[in-house]
């Protein structure tokens, strides 16, 4: 690592969280590794979930699925739309697709031998999926005529982390589809991370876990991801001098200002101006606008170059950061760019993973 800005992923804590989720659900688990495993690094996290005994993963697209297929033999389910003309690629690479739209299902090749399919039921998310029993029954009939393997059925809860009453409404609709469609699915899944922890049902036999693997929300779970940088330069700024683009910050007295090699191109958005990082046990305000590659903080005293700074982690939770920025931890995690080095902690050892640069 040449630039001192990194994301730290504790795979021991990921495995701990998986065991908590497994105990809560009592069901088989599917690890959702879409969007580069929520920013934590899909290949690094794949090794962790594999070690925890998970053999099914989910991604958002065919591109992600083909990328993951290079690294293992796990069952891979695509959660998002797949064009029917790509069915052959999915068969060749043993990738399971969702059946979510009647036009898409009818456009699949006449011979889909070897293609595994999960029916996507829309129970209130109103994103993709079949929203009535008649279409689900017709979809199963067409897929069987095309010799596809209709392996599962699933839906997605819209408010499992905030409104269990609406989750119950969605579940009842999903249960009606499953119990009355006249087909025996091998896999039935509706629980996301929040539902795996807080919603119990006797219908599904598989849970899809995503952000809970990283300890969100915390509770019994352990935070497994932290974001760090280190001071690159320290200077004394005189009273009345301004900092960064737009001169939006003016020193009210002589101040120690540190420059950090992290900016909005790394995922530290401009909206972080005025928030604080932790340096040497002290909360230090981000002053002036966050730049593309750098930002500045006000120090209580002079600290040496190389002093680490926590952006979020043990002392500054990503939940608090998200609340300050009027967003959610998902957006913060997935917004951390590929140019940030990922460091994996595994049984006390560290391994660096560079997604874009090989260091040569």
Question: Is 245 one of the annotated active-site residues of the chain?
Answer: yes
Burial label for 160, CB within 10 Å (0-12, 13-18, 19+), is buried
Q: Which helix (H) or strand (E) holds 52?
A: none
Residue partners of 327: CB distance under 8 A and separation at least 6 = none
Query: Cβ distance 76 to 59 under 8 Å?
Result: yes
- Separation between Cα atoms, residue 326 and residue 271, nearest integer Å: 10
Residue that has been written with the tokens 């959660």 in this structure: 79
Q: Which of 71, 106, 245, 353 is catalytic?
A: 245
Is 264 part of the annotated catalytic residue set?
Answer: no
Report the C-alpha gap between 41 and 148 in whole angstroms.
Answer: 32
Pairing of strands 5-10, 225-230: antiparallel
- Catalytic-role residue among 34, 116, 120, 146: 34
Distance CA 349, CA 353 (A): 13
Give the Cα separation of 292 and 270 in Å (integer).
Answer: 9
Point out the residues that are catalytic. Answer: 34, 245
């Amino acid at each position: 690592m040449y630039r001192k800005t990194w994301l730290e992923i504790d795979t021991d804590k990921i495995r701990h969280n998986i065991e908590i989720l497994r105990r809560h659900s009592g069901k088989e688990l599917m690890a959702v590794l879409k969007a580069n495993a929520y920013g934590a690094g899909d290949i690094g996290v794949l090794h962790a979930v594999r070690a925890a005994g998970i053999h099914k993963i989910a991604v958002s697209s065919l591109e992600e699925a083909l990328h993951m297929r290079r690294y293992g033999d796990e069952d891979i389910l695509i959660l998002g739309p797949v064009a029917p003309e790509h069915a052959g690629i999915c068969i060749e690479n043993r990738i399971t697709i969702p059946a979510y739209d009647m036009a898409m299902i009818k456009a699949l090749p006449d011979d889909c031998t070897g293609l595994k399919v999960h029916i996507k039921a829309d129970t209130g998310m109103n994103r993709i999926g079949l929203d009535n029993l008649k279409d689900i029954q017709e979809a199963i009939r067409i897929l069987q005529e095309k010799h596809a393997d209709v392996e599962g059925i699933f839906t997605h809860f819209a408010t499992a982390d905030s409104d269990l009453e609406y989750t119950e409404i969605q579940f009842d609709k999903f249960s009606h589809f499953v119990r009355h469609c006249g087909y025996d699915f091998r896999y039935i899944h509706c629980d996301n991370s929040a539902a795996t922890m807080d919603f119990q049902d006797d219908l599904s036999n598989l849970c899809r876990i995503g952000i809970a693997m990283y300890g969100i929300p915390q509770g019994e779970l352990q935070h497994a991801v932290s974001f760090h940088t280190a001071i690159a330069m320290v200077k004394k700024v005189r009273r009345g001098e301004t900092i960064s683009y737009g001169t939006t910050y003016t020193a009210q007295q002589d101040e120690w200002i540190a420059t950090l090699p992290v900016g909005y191109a790394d995922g530290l958005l401009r909206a972080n101006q005025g928030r604080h990082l932790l340096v040497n046990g002290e909360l230090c305000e981000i002053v002036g606008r966050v730049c593309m590659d750098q930002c500045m903080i006000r120090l209580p005293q002079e600290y040496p170059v190389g002093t680490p700074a926590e952006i979020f982690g043990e002392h500054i939770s990503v939940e608090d950061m998200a609340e300050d920025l009027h967003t959610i931890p998902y957006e913060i995690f997935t917004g951390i760019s590929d140019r940030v080095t990922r460091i994996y902690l595994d049984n006390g050892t560290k391994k660096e993973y560079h997604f874009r640069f090989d260091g040569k």
